[in-house]
Chains A and B, each alone.
Chain A
Amino acid sequence: NAGVTQTPKFQVLKTGQSMTLQCAQDMNHNSMYWYRQDPGMGLRLIYYSASEGTTDKGEVPNGYNVSRLNKREFSLRLESAAPSQTSVYFCASSERRVSARKPTGELFFGEGSRLTVL
């Protein structure tokens, strides 16, 4: 059972180049998320998708775009990479909240993608 799979695991870019991080989950989860993790900053939410066909901005969306291609896949695109986007990126998924009484469930994380922008 693969869980959440991210590709690539490592990438080096030059300033101004573009790239897409791919994420797929096989747990039939409705919600998917992209986080970035920087030293001393914890995990910060970039974008999330509550369900297929919807996406919303998180805490740090500038410089990124996302696509929820289908229920399984959620990609993150950097159109013009900047050194400030050097980070480790994590994709995650969770079951969607069914009712107001259901607590926020745990997130299942991918292994991370380390991106360096020179």
Chain B
Amino acid sequence: EDKVVQSPLSLVVHEGDTVTLNCSYEVTNFRSLLWYKQEKKAPTFLFMLTSSGIEKKSGRLSSILDKKELFSILNITATQTGDSAVYLCAVGTNTGTASKLTFGTGTRLQVTL
């Protein structure tokens, strides 16, 4: 059974802090790891990672994948209250006929003033 574990489950930080969110996985037929941000409704896509050691960046957010150790981290620098959300990690696998994502339970981030 494919498994994706995120830590911490929740986190409260002050605006301006830097945070690191963790995602580890055990899956069959790994193809990609994706990060999503979920505020009130549907998850919105942040990054997709397929290769180890290559950092993906978007503004204050960055992420990197380690395929040997089977984990990824999502960093957010200079946090803002708008970063408050649940961050979901998902691992993509191919079944032979379709791609599917297995999600972790998420990390709830709250950024306070």
Contact = CB atoms under 8 A, between A and B. Distances in A.
Interface of A: 31, 33, 35, 40-45, 48-51, 54, 56, 58-59, 90, 94, 96-97, 100, 103-112
Given A56-B98, A97-B98, A109-B43, A104 B92 contact: yes
Contacts, number: 79
A45 B43 contact: no
A33 B88 contact: no
Helix, strand, loop or mixed for chain A's interface?
Answer: loop
Q: Which bracket fits the contact residues of B?
A: 20 to 34
27 contacts: A31-B98, A33-B101, A35-B103, A40-B105, A42-B88, A45-B101, A48-B100, A51-B97, A58-B100, A90-B43, A96-B98, A97-B31, A97-B98, A100-B94, A103-B92, A104-B31, A104-B34, A104-B92, A104-B93, A105-B92, A106-B48, A107-B34, A107-B90, A107-B101, A108-B45, A109-B42, A109-B43
